[in-house]
Structure 1
Amino acid sequence: MTEALTPERILAATEDVLRRYGPTKATVVDVARALGVSHGSVYRHFRTKTALREAVTKRWIDHTTVLLEPLAAGPGPADRRLADWLTVLFHAKRRKAMDDPELFATYTVLAEELSEVVAAHVADLVGQLTRIIEDGRAADVFAPGPPESAVLARAVHQATAMFHKPHFAARWALPEAEADFTALRDLVVRGCQ
């Protein structure tokens, strides 16, 4: 019995094809071939190659957003949640870069091409940080504004970019990366207090 063609199967096959051929050489025909279907069958689920690339990129970055959501939602002291959120983000990105470097490199290229998908992801992350900061301010754990919580959240995200932006992935394998991250994380959390 043939397994039904679903968007999820197509996205999984697309990851394999991207890993094998890279973003410049991978085609919808390659994805269809990997699934044993016609490329028209793939296009019934994803109208264009760009739509398929957007969906696979979104799927990949959404794993991180979902992983961080429980920390953004609470419970617990906001300062601890902020420290844990930053730690989970760094470790998740580093794990992706180290465990599957071919796919990570591919997604780095796709992320540059698909700036709207990345912008939405960054907005989600900043939204999570904003909630943590607002909770901390409401509990008198973090100093009251100004700046507004959303502005502070963007600043935290930008200040820690070296530990989550794919451009810096090569640095994450350095022996001092963990100590450098911990020092910056602790400085950022203290700066919010």
Structure 2
Amino acid sequence: MAPTSETLTAERILEATEEVLRRHGPAKATVVDVARALGVSHGSVYRHFRTKAALREAVTKRWLDRSSEALAGIAAADRDPEDRLRDWARGLFEAKRRKAGDDPELFATYSVLVGENGTVVGDHLDDLTGQLTRIVRDGMAAGVFAAGDPATAAGAFFQATACFHDPCHAARWRRPGIDEEFEAVVELLVRGLRGSRRPV
């Protein structure tokens, strides 16, 4: 049964938009295509999202939030900070690699949309580095890490692992030995965070 304007929700529109983007790509997908997929008028879609740009921004945010939400649980867990840091970095890498490998068309589409939505991407990156900052701060409080400023250390960790989560490096993520490279980089960074407080 096609949704009426009463049953049409922002979430249903975003789900349909994702499917339309998968089929047509970001250059050809239109609000009319989304409305057609839902069986409603394009005016019904515009009642939830005032512009095509707003719709594309919302679907990009939804995609990015999926990664953030999963990682937030790791960051907030009451566990050893080193284990949390490793698990968090591994979780981010696996989530990005899974998206790139399981649905390459949609991943390519979102790579384009991410480039259009600087504010959404900035908020996403702030959220991720905020989660890392929490882990580093907890590690300092527990005497595990010897970083100076937790936010600075978290930002450095995030940048140093960019080749394992930045979409521009996606082509590398399936090559042989990438997991060993990842583990080596994370281990080096964890040792750096320990400083002189724990033997290397």
Q: Distance in 1 between matches of 2:190 and 2:72?
A: 18
TM superposition score normalised by structure 1? 0.97
Q: Distance in 2 between matches of 1:5 and 1:65?
A: 26
Q: Distance in 2 between matches of 1:17 and 1:143?
A: 48
Match of 2:197 in 1: none
Listed one character per residue, the Cα deviations across residues 94-144 of structure 1 (whole Å, up to 9, x for unaligned) are 000000000000000000111111010000000000000000000000014
Deviation at 1:190, TM superposition (A): 1.3
Gaps in structure 1 of 5+ consecutive residues: none
State the percentage of identical aligned residues: 62
Q: Distance in 2 between matches of 1:188 and 1:24?
A: 40
1:25 is aligned to 2:28? yes
Deviation at 1:2, TM superposition (A): 4.4
Q: Quick one: which of 79, 83, 86 aligns to 1:80?
A: 83
Deviation at 1:5, TM superposition (A): 0.8
Match of 1:173 in 2: 174
Deviation at 1:74, TM superposition (A): 1.7
Root-mean-square deviation (CA, aligned residues, Å) is 0.9
Match of 1:117 in 2: 120
Gaps in structure 2 of 5+ consecutive residues: 195-200
Q: Quick one: which of 16, 19, 23 aligns to 1:16?
A: 19
Deviation at 1:37, TM superposition (A): 0.5
Matched position secondary structure for 2:26:
coil
1:68-107 matches, cutoff 5 A: 68-107=71-110
Q: Quick one: which amino acid aligns to residue 88 of structure 2?
A: W
Listed one character per residue, the Cα deviations across residues 63-112 of structure 1 (whole Å, up to 9, x for unaligned) are 00000011111210101100000000000000000000000000000001
Higher relative contact order (CA 8 A, sep 6+): 1
Deviation at 1:176, TM superposition (A): 1.4
Match of 1:160 in 2: 161
How many residues are treated as equivalent by the alignment? 191
1:132 is aligned to 2:128? no
Matched position secondary structure for 2:173:
helix
Q: Distance in 2 between matches of 1:177 and 1:109?
A: 25
Deviation at 1:187, TM superposition (A): 1.1
Listed one character per residue, the Cα deviations across residues 5-44 of structure 1 (whole Å, up to 9, x for unaligned) are 1111100000000001101110000000110100000000
Runs of 4+ in structure 1 deviating by more than 3 angstroms, as ranges, are none
Q: Distance in 2 between matches of 1:144 and 1:48?
A: 45
